[in-house]
Chain A
Amino acid sequence: MKKVIEKYSEPGEWEAMLSFERIGDDKEWLGVLDAREPGKYKLTIIADHKVENTKGKITVRAVVGKNAHVIIKGIIRIRKGAQKTNNYLELRVLMLDKTATAIAEPELEIEANDVKASHGATIGQIDKIQMLYLTSRGLTETQAQEEIVNGWLNV
């Protein structure tokens, strides 16, 4: 399996295309979107399954800070005849501030039946219990948040 990790940490616009053209293709893609700087971020990721027997896993992890605006679009496309395809797309967004906004559009376009295609999208905040644990051990709010975000982004 081939795993690709892409990192984006400044405002901007990106498109990533994952093409499954050879039988047996197996690809994993992780996008880390660090939107702690204010500004606009737009990321589009497309998984295009053209032949049968391919497997993909796509994950986007994003943190969105003060006055940062994020748009994430993830598409799994399974074309006619691309049977026995398996793909899971996951969009996970952590909102750090009330002024943060996120638009998540996970799409599925499925034209074959013997497939497994699914996606999940979550948008939420830092777990208050984790924050409490760290601050009760002497970290400031900022430090605690930093630790959690870094751990979560896995950087």
Chain B
Amino acid sequence: MESYPLGFNTTTKGYIYKAKKGLSEKLVREISQIKNEPKWMLALRLAALKQYESMPIPLWGADLTDINWDNIHYYLKPVDRVYKSWEEVPDNVRKVFEAIGVPEAEKEMLAGVGGQYDSEVIYHSLKKTLAKVGVVFLSMDEGLKQYPDIVSKYFGKIVPYGDNKLAALNTAVWSGGSFVYIPRGIKVDLPLQAYFRINAENAGQFERTLIVAEEGSSVHYVEGCSAPAYSSASLHAAVVEVVVKKKAKVRYTTVQNWYKTVYNLVTKRALVGEDSTMEWVDCNLGSKITMKYPSCILQGERAHGEMLSIAVAGESQQQDAGAKMIHLAPNTTSKITSKSISTNGGRTSYRGQIKIAATANEARSKVVCDALILDSLSRSDTYPNNQILTGDATLEHEAYVSRISEEQMLYLMSRGLTTKEAEGIIIRGFLEPIIQELPMEYAVELNRLVKMEMIGSVG
């Protein structure tokens, strides 16, 4: 596909470890051994593997029956360690990250950067001033080595391995991902960024991320993803756990641009404490199939959960995305804003849940879903589930599906714009409320991606 500029790959010849295709208990033990993990982690992996094998493939949502689970490399270790400067990173890997622009962005405007290549994190850095005050930003593997107490306290507690089949799979074979710890009262002004790259063909990437924000702290974590243009399928099944303590604030931004053969099946969940805020900003543009519903469990009084999401589905793509807000405490609030565009036969689905438990007195929630369908081949669905289990809670939900308004097009074209220009302006305006929340270079990138996706879509 010529409009996917990140579609290059490099050889996997020099990889330190390349697991044979397929999943087995032997492999799980091997991964744990290579990583030199504590016993409890191996035990957890093995229990999760059993759970995974006993669970059926989900039958709701997107169709996953085409995935050939035995044709995937579950563990691929490209280099021998995590590098701290880009000069040390082996040429073939560094060039990929340079082409994506990661080292450059780091110099300009980031507080810390992690880079993952297939199964392992190959680069990590954090500004010295932040390290000094106790901020931790490491690969999950390093985090487990250096901070075993914090990791064992939270790992698998927010997303237990029995949660769903893919979470079980991730827990069994997880590798890489980020470990972020923000001490009490520390506000990290610049974003921490992680970049995930799949390089090998038929790769499985199972990164695991844990973010703990202590009382009164704040952090913005940004992740980007891409993969080479292979014709056969790869699998990305991540688990992200976030703990937002009292009066803390965490924003988690994702710009997902996997190649169109990647299955992206991700579980993300945050535990939100008293007077604290969790914000998910989730942009799904790539992948063959995405199933992802980031959640907030609002368990402290006055906790606030927010989701801003963009989904764009082009030819042969299905974006089945949404959010879940679980209100458990009084006066909790949540808001979901979802924008989706389907074009060239793509399908977008908003699937979300608002649950206001009987204990969440006077909780409030608002959900707005807007969808544009650009041609007659494409499809858009909205599947919200709103469960209000206390009589004094308030819910507002609205959804709107349409094509680009003729009136708006006519107005712009009568001012001399071509069809394409007019459509571009309308689409940018449609996505603007979310794009403006993105860090600058991601906003530019997103505008570019959306434009690319729209080429030839105007009928």
Q: Which residues of A are at the interface with B, using a C-beta cutoff of 8 A?
A: 64, 80-81, 83, 93, 95-125
Asked if B403 and A99 make an inter-chain contact with CB atoms under 8 angstroms apart, the answer reads no
CA distance in complex: A96, B391 (Å): 7
**Known interface pairs A103-B386, A110-B401; 13 further A-B residue pairs with C-beta atoms within 8 A, sorted by A's residue number:** A64-B391, A83-B376, A100-B391, A102-B387, A103-B388, A106-B384, A107-B381, A109-B379, A109-B381, A110-B371, A113-B378, A119-B398, A123-B386
Checking B361, B374, B385 against A113 with a beta-carbon cut-off of 8 angstroms, the contacting residue is B374
Asked if B375 and A123 make an inter-chain contact with CB atoms under 8 angstroms apart, the answer reads no
Asked if B397 and A121 make an inter-chain contact with CB atoms under 8 angstroms apart, the answer reads yes
- Assuming the A-B contacts A110-B380, A113-B378, are A125 and B392 also in contact, with contact meaning beta carbons closer than 8 angstroms in the complex? yes
Interface core residue of B378, B393, B395, B401 (most chain A CB under 10 Å): B401
Checking B386, B391, B395, B399 against A108 with a beta-carbon cut-off of 8 angstroms, the contacting residue is B399
Asked if A123 and B395 make an inter-chain contact with CB atoms under 8 angstroms apart, the answer reads yes
Asked if B388 and A102 make an inter-chain contact with CB atoms under 8 angstroms apart, the answer reads yes
The 7 nearest A-B residue pairs measured at CB: A100-B391, A113-B373, A95-B391, A108-B382, A121-B397, A123-B395, A118-B400
Asked if B397 and A122 make an inter-chain contact with CB atoms under 8 angstroms apart, the answer reads yes
CA distance in complex: A101, B386 (Å): 11
CA distance in complex: A125, B363 (Å): 12
Asked if B397 and A99 make an inter-chain contact with CB atoms under 8 angstroms apart, the answer reads no
Asked if A107 and B382 make an inter-chain contact with CB atoms under 8 angstroms apart, the answer reads yes
Point out the residues of chain B lying under 8 angstroms from A83, CB to CB: 376
Q: Which residues of B are at the interface with A, using a C-beta cutoff of 8 A?
A: 358, 361, 371, 373-376, 378-403
Point out the residues of chain B lying under 8 angstroms from A116, CB to CB: 400-402
Point out the residues of chain B lying under 8 angstroms from A97, CB to CB: 391
Point out the residues of chain B lying under 8 angstroms from A100, CB to CB: 391
Residues of B contacting A: mostly: strand
CA distance in complex: A118, B389 (Å): 25
CA distance in complex: A63, B385 (Å): 19
Point out the residues of chain A lying under 8 angstroms from B391, CB to CB: 64, 95-101, 125
CA distance in complex: A123, B385 (Å): 13
Asked if B381 and A110 make an inter-chain contact with CB atoms under 8 angstroms apart, the answer reads yes
- Assuming the A-B contacts A106-B384, A113-B374, are A121 and B379 also in contact, with contact meaning beta carbons closer than 8 angstroms in the complex? no
Point out the residues of chain A lying under 8 angstroms from B361, CB to CB: 98
Residue of A nearest to B387 (CB): A103
CA distance in complex: A131, B371 (Å): 38
Q: List 21 A-B contacts (CB under 8 A).
A: A80-B376, A81-B376, A98-B361, A98-B391, A101-B388, A103-B385, A103-B386, A107-B381, A107-B383, A107-B384, A108-B382, A108-B399, A109-B379, A109-B381, A110-B373, A111-B379, A115-B402, A119-B382, A120-B399, A123-B393, A124-B395
Asked if A118 and B398 make an inter-chain contact with CB atoms under 8 angstroms apart, the answer reads yes
Asked if B397 and A113 make an inter-chain contact with CB atoms under 8 angstroms apart, the answer reads no
CA distance in complex: A112, B401 (Å): 10
Interface core residue of B391, B392, B396 (most chain A CB under 10 Å): B391
Residue of A nearest to B390 (CB): A98
CA distance in complex: A18, B374 (Å): 27
Point out the residues of chain B lying under 8 angstroms from A104, CB to CB: 386, 388, 395, 397
Asked if A122 and B396 make an inter-chain contact with CB atoms under 8 angstroms apart, the answer reads yes
Residue of B nearest to A122 (CB): B396
Point out the residues of chain A lying under 8 angstroms from B358, CB to CB: 101
CA distance in complex: A86, B55 (Å): 42
- Assuming the A-B contacts A103-B387, A105-B384, are A121 and B396 also in contact, with contact meaning beta carbons closer than 8 angstroms in the complex? yes
Residue of A nearest to B348 (CB): A110
CA distance in complex: A36, B378 (Å): 43
CA distance in complex: A102, B387 (Å): 6
CA distance in complex: A117, B361 (Å): 33
CA distance in complex: A83, B392 (Å): 41
Asked if A106 and B403 make an inter-chain contact with CB atoms under 8 angstroms apart, the answer reads no
Asked if B394 and A123 make an inter-chain contact with CB atoms under 8 angstroms apart, the answer reads yes
Point out the residues of chain B lying under 8 angstroms from A96, CB to CB: 391
Give the shortest distance, in Å, between A96 (CB) and chain B (any CB).
Answer: 7
Residue of B nearest to A80 (CB): B376
Asked if A115 and B401 make an inter-chain contact with CB atoms under 8 angstroms apart, the answer reads yes
Asked if A112 and B402 make an inter-chain contact with CB atoms under 8 angstroms apart, the answer reads no
- Assuming the A-B contacts A97-B391, A110-B380, A111-B379, are A121 and B386 also in contact, with contact meaning beta carbons closer than 8 angstroms in the complex? yes
Give the shortest distance, in Å, between A62 (CB) and chain B (any CB).
Answer: 12
Point out the residues of chain A lying under 8 angstroms from B394, CB to CB: 122-125
Asked if B385 and A105 make an inter-chain contact with CB atoms under 8 angstroms apart, the answer reads yes
Asked if B392 and A98 make an inter-chain contact with CB atoms under 8 angstroms apart, the answer reads yes
